[in-house]
Structure 1
Amino acid sequence: MSALRSTSSFRVGEKECAVTLRVPEGDGPFPAILMVHGWGGVQDALTLPFYEPFEQAGFAVMTFDYAGWGRSEGTPRNVINPWQREREVEGALEHLRAQPAVDPKRIVLWGTSFGGGHVVRVAAKHPELLGAITQVPMLDGMAAVKAVPPLRMLRFGFSALVDVVRGKRNPFYVPVVAPPGEWASMDRDGAAEAMQNGLKALLEAEGPEAAVYDNRVAARSLLTMGAYRPFKSLRDVKIPILVVGATRDTVAPFVEKKIRALNNANIQIEKLDANHFDPYFDPALSTNLGYQLAFLRSLSA
């Protein structure tokens, strides 16, 4: 089955966010999955392997770039504010509902990493949704902060201070990912290798223009991490939600005990013996997709 792909955009404030919609062949309207990317994510950078299995399961798939990232408008570039991103997810959800090929009553939110936290927070506000999937989610920013070595945390703090002093229009950037031990917002769990492999797959599938990636994030973005704790919103989720956690994740530590302590019967937990980036690639990818496709089938049962 091949998907029919189209591009469009939606507006959040004064900024246009770029959208790609993939629709299965056949007669719609189709149930749809809104995919929400992670910390330094842009469309297709690591999520390419998920599209075809979801489309073969009968779902339209919509991806988008956050404002100031990828193909979306917005300056300064590559700044992260999780609460602003949630507003952009809301805008993307409204845009998806308006697509003629999509059944607006059968939409699933899907989020990964930092975007997995956004999905939890947004899902808690939308009991009308069909369901939600959050993989290797950043559910507790304080746990993520505590996982950072102290000396690196000091350097993060200094970089963020420099960025704040320079002002909103003149960001001080740090790399999003780097090899182990090198300076970046993420150097653990094979972050740089994962991004390189993801961009290589994108290059092979879409050509050189699609694989452009700006490996920078404004250092001020790091200041938002500790205060962002989406796991607290899990208690308010009233739709089926699948949480796929990685037991060796040091980027967004899997807070399984906190999740289970909420005693929310809508939450289904599946675990992978993996680090933060393993679930995007085989062999962990196959197991991960197995969990997610089984969950999607259960929503239609």
Structure 2
Amino acid sequence: MSFKQGMKSTFRSEGADCAATIYYPDNKAERTPAILMIHGWGGIQLVLFKDFIRRFNEAGYAVMTFDYPGWGASSGLPRNRINPWERVRVSDSALTHLKSQNEIDENRIVVWGTSFGGGHAIDLAAEHPEIAGVIAHVPMLNGMAAVAAVPFLRMLRFSLDITLDLINPFKRRYIPVVSPEGEYSTMDRDGAGRLEDWVNEELEGKYDNRVTAASLLTMAPYQPGRNLHRIQVPGLIVGALRDTVAPFNEASVRSKVGSNISISTIDANHFDPYLQPWFEDNVTNQLAFLKQVIG
């Protein structure tokens, strides 16, 4: 099945022109409900999103994706740097951009974030009680837990690259974002190597698989789970029980959320829920939530 072309635009945030794309459903209404999709750690607009976009469009929802400054089709230097607090601000600007579109019903927008971006979706929802809802998909809610899951020898090698990156910021030190298990990257666990196959098949290999080493320093202090209790809108959190990239502590999450937040768990690792056979039940559950909150 061919993938439909979206409407491209840009918005300004953090000193960069950020690339955005809106995919409208074939049967769009005069004012269409919409989903803002927020990417994870090393994600760019379509990586692992295509199947979700198709299904959301088929259900009648517009979908907007975007690239963070320095990533994908967006401007900004240095390239492929990560700062989660900056990314939350960029996501806020993306939400404003989506609301400004004439075809979009600004009262029926759901913020959807995945992995590292799942934490950004939580942060955004805590600040925007006017949105219709939030979905946090295999979210990274506790940066310290994510760092603690990294093997010791890998952490030592990360430390060397981080030091070299900080010593000479004019010649950035990069680490691969993903790799097959056992190879050096920020994510080689939970079948992360499958992402390379997906990029080659779906994006014709057009992905810059690297991140600045110093970006890893932002992981541990980033704690979006602390904002769970502040969310007033309806929410759905999808957690993977065998996730070692963004470990999901179901009991801890349940203790922090109110009755407006539903929790759905999948017996899977971090990357499984994006792919079949896990994807089908996963997206069906999300579509049921979307129907409930935006029709």
Shift of 1:267: 1.1
CA 1:31 to 1:261, structure 2 compared with 1: closer, same or farther past 3 Å? same
Partner of 2:239: 245
The letter of the residue matching 2:18 is C
Structure 2 segments unaligned to the other structure (5+ residues): none
The letter of the residue matching 2:137 is Q
- Root-mean-square deviation (CA, aligned residues, Å) is 1.3
TM-score by length of 1: 0.94
Q: Is the 8 A contact 1:121 1:230 kept in 2?
A: yes
Structure 1 segments unaligned to the other structure (5+ residues): none
Residue deviations 1:185-224, cap 9 Å, x none? 001011122x123214424xxxx4xx41000000000000
- 1:28 partner SS: coil
Partner of 1:175: 176
- 1:191 partner SS: coil
Partner of 1:110: 112
- 2:101 partner SS: coil
Shift of 1:261: 1.0
Q: Identity across aligned pairs (percent)?
A: 51
Q: Is the 8 A contact 1:140 1:255 kept in 2?
A: no
Shift of 1:227: 0.4
Partner of 1:45: 47
TM-score by length of 2: 0.96
- 1:24 partner SS: coil
The letter of the residue matching 2:16 is K
CA 1:34 to 1:98, structure 2 compared with 1: closer, same or farther past 3 Å? same
Partner of 2:280: 286
Shift of 1:300: 3.4
- 2:256 partner SS: coil
Shift of 1:263: 4.3
From 256, 263, 276, the equivalent of 1:262 is 256
Measure the CA separation in 2 of the matches of 1:197 and 1:272: 23
Q: Is the 8 A contact 1:143 1:253 kept in 2?
A: yes
Measure the CA separation in 2 of the matches of 1:155 and 1:4: 41
Partner of 1:220: 214
**Runs of at least 4 residues off by over 4 Å:** none
- 2:46 partner SS: coil
CA 1:243 to 1:263, structure 2 compared with 1: closer, same or farther past 3 Å? closer
From 72, 75, 79, the equivalent of 1:73 is 75
- 2:193 partner SS: helix
Shift of 1:225: 0.5
From 260, 265, 285, the equivalent of 1:271 is 265
Measure the CA separation in 2 of the matches of 1:101 and 1:113: 29
- 2:291 partner SS: helix
Measure the CA separation in 1 of the matches of 2:112 and 2:14: 24
Shift of 1:3: 6.0
The letter of the residue matching 2:244 is T
Partner of 2:151: 149
CA 1:106 to 1:300, structure 2 compared with 1: closer, same or farther past 3 Å? closer
From 92, 95, 109, the equivalent of 2:94 is 92
Shift of 1:48: 0.6
Measure the CA separation in 1 of the matches of 2:171 and 2:80: 12
Residue deviations 1:53-90, cap 9 Å, x none? 10121110000000000000011100000000001001
Q: Following superposition of structure 1 onto structure 2, how do residues 133-212 of structure 1 map, counting pairs within 5 Å?
A: 133-167=135-169, 169-193=170-194, 195-203=195-203, 208=204, 211-212=205-206
Q: Is the 8 A contact 1:4 1:23 kept in 2?
A: no
CA 1:172 to 1:125, structure 2 compared with 1: closer, same or farther past 3 Å? same
